[in-house]
Amino acid sequence: MNASGKHGTRVLVVEDETQMRRLLTVSLTKHGFQVTTASTGDEALQEVSSGAIELVLLDLGLPDMDGVQVCRDIREWSAVPIIVVTVREDESDKVTALDAGADDYVNKPFGIDELLARIRANLRRASPEPADPVLHFGALTVDLQRHSVSKNGEYIHLTRTEYDLLRVLATHAGRVLTHRQLLREARGPEYEGDTPLLRVHMVALRRKLGISPGLPGHIATEAGVGYRLLA
């Protein structure tokens, strides 16, 4: 076991560029992961269907099929965590992939530390530890049982909607949530399209929490995509 996660966790790297595939394989292997590779969507589906894969790192630009379609196909029968690898400019692609069932994304080019952090956050979600209703993010504490939020021990008053948004972000800490996902989980499917209202609530929520950018508990904006609570 090392600092990167459970030793020997099986990661499938789906990437058609040989150099990138090699780089990811070497880096992840060095950090204790057991890496399998695929260079097409078809190969990826075959590998996932073998059932041994614990996390998928999926390049969206594949030669034989769209990575978004790979997500959809996997989600028909598997809940394996999927992190898509995208080019920074393609915000609509990220949203489409997340809405198609991907759990998270990293932008190309990315650093290995960032990638490892994403992998860890998504593996944690896939195998939750014994439920503790009190979540801690630096100075911020979210008590899911008592529906209360405090910072450095001081109670913070939130509206019902603000609390529900924070609850969803906190229970997915470290992972990005699209505007639609966040609204659906916090408010219900009928609110999915209410992005302008979401922005208003997020401004208020951030102000009340008062956590500086970069610190645990801060709600980071993922431009054009959604939000992520820093773990």
Q: Which residue is nearest to Ca ion (CB)?
A: 61
Maximum Cα–Cα distance across the chain: 54
- What is the smallest separation between the CB atom of 62 and Ca ion, expressed in angstroms? 6
- What is the smallest separation between the CB atom of 176 and Ca ion, expressed in angstroms? 21
Note the Cα 160 to chain centre separation in Å.
24
The count of residues interacting with Ca ion (CB under 5 A) is 3
Q: Does 61 bind Ca ion (CB under 5 A)?
A: yes
Pick between residue 61 and residue 101 the one whose CB is nearest to Ca ion: 61
- What is the smallest separation between the CB atom of 67 and Ca ion, expressed in angstroms? 8
The per-residue DSSP string of 134-157 comes to EEEETTEEEETTTTEEEETTEEE-
- What is the smallest separation between the CB atom of 59 and Ca ion, expressed in angstroms? 4
In angstroms, rounded to a whole number, what is the distance separating the alpha carbons of residues 80 and 127? 11
Q: Does 93 bind Ca ion (CB under 5 A)?
A: no
Report the site for Ca ion in 12-31 (rule: CB under 5 A): 16
State whether the Cα torsion 62-66-72-76 is positive or negative: negative
Pick between residue 89 and residue 129 the one whose CB is nearest to Ca ion: 89
Provide the angle, in degrees to the nearest 10, between the axes of the packed helices 160-171 and 179-187: 120
Note the Cα 54 to chain centre separation in Å.
15
Pick between residue 85 and residue 205 the one whose CB is nearest to Ca ion: 85
Could you list the residues that contact Ca ion (CB under 5 A)? 16, 59, 61
